[in-house]
Structure 1
Amino acid sequence: MTKAPVLFQLHAISALLLFAAWPFTRLVRMLTAPLGYLTRSYIVHRSRDARLGARSPRRGWDRVGS
């Protein structure tokens, strides 16, 4: 390792630090076999109605539907 280029040494050290920190981060979720991810349904994205932005925001406890 002493004869390796400095850039490679930094790369190797950063990889070792990542592997050391891995169990304490959210990256450990990759090891939990996310099988449900393969079979889950698609997420439907809908655009906002243009008229909703024209209405003034409600404040407090306004009655709904009257």
Structure 2
Amino acid sequence: MNAISNRLKKYGLRYDDLYDPYFDLDVMEALNRLPREIVDARNQPLKRAMDLSMKHEYLPADLQV
């Protein structure tokens, strides 16, 4: 878990960001209960990480969590 967390940090993600709502019904229910703005805010870092991964880049060190 620590090794994965260190790699995710380079993309600005945390280990908890990887929970898949389609795989875990509890996560799906929790996300359904949240306001849409919060769900969108949760998805923004995931989109940014996918973009960085496609470009073969990392977040600048000052923006990494």
- Bin for the TM-score computed over the shorter chain: 0.3 to 0.5
Query: Rg larger in 1 or in 2?
Result: 1
Between structures 1 and 2, the one with greater helix share: 2
Higher relative contact order, structure no. (Cα contacts within 8 Å, ≥ 6 residues apart)? 2
